[in-house]
Structure 1
Amino acid sequence: MLLWPSVSHSLTVQEVPNPQQQYGGWVTDMAGVLSEETEQTLNQKISDLEAQNGTEIAVVTVRDTASEATPKAFATRLFNYWGVGKAEVNNGVLWLHSVGDRRIEIETGYGIENILPDAEVGEMINEVIIPEFREDNFDAGTLAGVEALITVLSEEEFQVSVNRPGDASSSVSDGFAEMENRGDFWIAAFVGWVASVLGYGTIYLNPREGSRCNL
């Protein structure tokens, strides 16, 4: 009797369907944790925000991020690969929920890092998202979290501006356009939010980790 080793396949960033290319939307629920109604609501709210001031929010759920070193690395690479946000103003946001890792990652472009500082996003995660996720209420937690982001971002009008020296504005494309061959050089261009979760616990900000927060 021959025993063949089982081969587990880890999802790569390139295999995550780009919702803008797939159906002109903003949500990719690969983990299957969001209802159709929630997806429709998210798509409508984000479309309204994008029409208002050009801000783009991508909402992604996956089973795990084992193809990268950390969920943070997966989120940052996906942000860059899709090119979330308008290139001239870097106003993109990527929401990544890795169910197997029990992690939430929120990546933001340079253009909104002052609008959504670490402390404010931390409060959103701790007070709005985690209480629902602890009860496996992923629809409610995702809706509440994205709505909180939209509330802040809808107050801003983004203007085309000259790129700051050394930033990665030029690496971000409109409409989640795929841009391949972006090295880790560009990773430093985006603020990374990390929520490492054991039961989606309490958030702690570690100033030495910069934009990383552990839950």
Structure 2
Amino acid sequence: MIRGLIRALLLLLFLPATALAQGMPQPLSDTVSDFADVLTPQQEITLSDTLQEARDETGVHIALVVLDFRAKYGGSGQSIETYAKNLFNAWGIGDKTRHDGILILVAQGDREMRIALGAGFDAVYDGLAQRVIDREMLPAFRDNRYAEGIQTGTQAVIDRLARPFASRNPPKVERDYTGLLSALPFVLFFGVFAAAVLRRQIGDVATRFRACPTCGRKTLRRNRVVDTAANTMQAGRGTQTTRCSECDYSRRDSYEIPRITKSSSGSSGGFGGGRSSGGGASGRW
């Protein structure tokens, strides 16, 4: 009887992890996976080339993932920190011996993001990642300039995280106490303006929906399906479908998935089995 109860408890403990692994999305490529269609096809290609060149140079595998709501991709009930770590490990970003991968995860609809670092990065890189988020990405995201923030932030990740890690010479994180002092007035008046801030955030979410060209309502929904996965020999193809939930408007467009490239040194291409222990930094807007 007791043994049976123990086995049942152990099964319950392992079931969430199994379900989680089953709900994770498959990558669209080993560089850029834009499930939310935030980037144009040309921006995806440019970012993919940038990340591949950085990987060839530094050996650090950086993967960019853009979602709308993480609950749609196996993250229901999870914090952005937990989901980023689970997605990182499910895909195996980075080298399996160096654990040097980096995941840039942007959940546009959730208004949250995370730079998740492989277990090979020490704690100083958490602070560097936070600076990239606060200075390069969040200001643009707050103005709904998502593509710009992603492009600028990705380059900053390469410059401030990947290259220093590869050279084993991380820059020092400066202590900026003036920022804390300047934030005190906002803390004091936070309670007064909380309701107004919440209304503005709701308004920002509503403005992200374009009007339907047929009925004029802001009820468009878009999804993407990979028809042919990219590989090292050729680019892949996908289909993007935009539909209106209020009328019969529907539009289908094809798009190209960048070819997965490998350098002659063999340092890059595909996923290498790296793992994250939870290091990194988060941002919300």
Normalized against structure 1, the TM-score is what? 0.66
Shift of 1:193: 2.1
| Equivalence for 1:126 | 134
SS in 1 for 2:106: strand
Structure 1 residues 83 and 97: CA distance shift in structure 2, 3 A: same
Deviations 1:153-209 (A, max 9, x none): 2244379xxxxxxxxxxxxxx832679xxxxxx76x2304222x2xx2xxxxxxxxx
Distance 1:13 1:135, change over 3 A: farther
Question: 1:75 matched to which residue of 2?
Answer: 84
Give the whole-Å Cα distance in 1 for the aligned partners of 2:278 and 2:88: 9
1:178 and 1:124 map into 2 onto residues whose CA distance is: 25
Which among 92, 108, 113 is matched to residue 122 of structure 2? 113
Where does residue 53 of structure 1 map in the other structure?
58
Q: Which has the larger radius of gyration?
A: 2
Aligned to 1:190: 278
Q: Which amino acid aligns with 1:121?
A: A
AA matched with 2:53: D
| Structure 2 alignment gaps of length 5 or more | 1-19, 169-268
Which one is further off, 71-80 or 149-158? 149-158
- Rounded Cα–Cα distance in structure 1 between residues aligned with 2:139 and 2:88: 26
Q: CA deviation at 1:120?
A: 1.8
Fraction of identical pairs, as percent: 27
> Shift of the alpha carbon at 1:68?
4.2
Q: Is 2:58–2:163's contact at 8 Å kept on the other side of the alignment?
A: yes
1:68, 1:74 within 8 Å by CA — same for their partners in 2?
A: no
Q: What is the identity, as a one-letter code, of the residue corresponding to 1:125?
A: I
Q: Which residue of 2 aligns with 1:141?
A: 149
Relative distance call for 1:70 and 1:12 in structure 2 (3 A) is: farther
1:112 CA drift (Å): 2.8
Structure 1: runs of 5 or more not aligned = 1-10, 160-173, 180-185, 201-215
Q: Quick one: distance in 1 between partners of 2:111 and 2:46?
A: 24
Distance 1:151 1:13 in 2: 34
- Aligned-residue Cα RMSD (Å) equals 2.6
Q: Is the 8 A contact 1:89 1:111 kept in 2?
A: yes
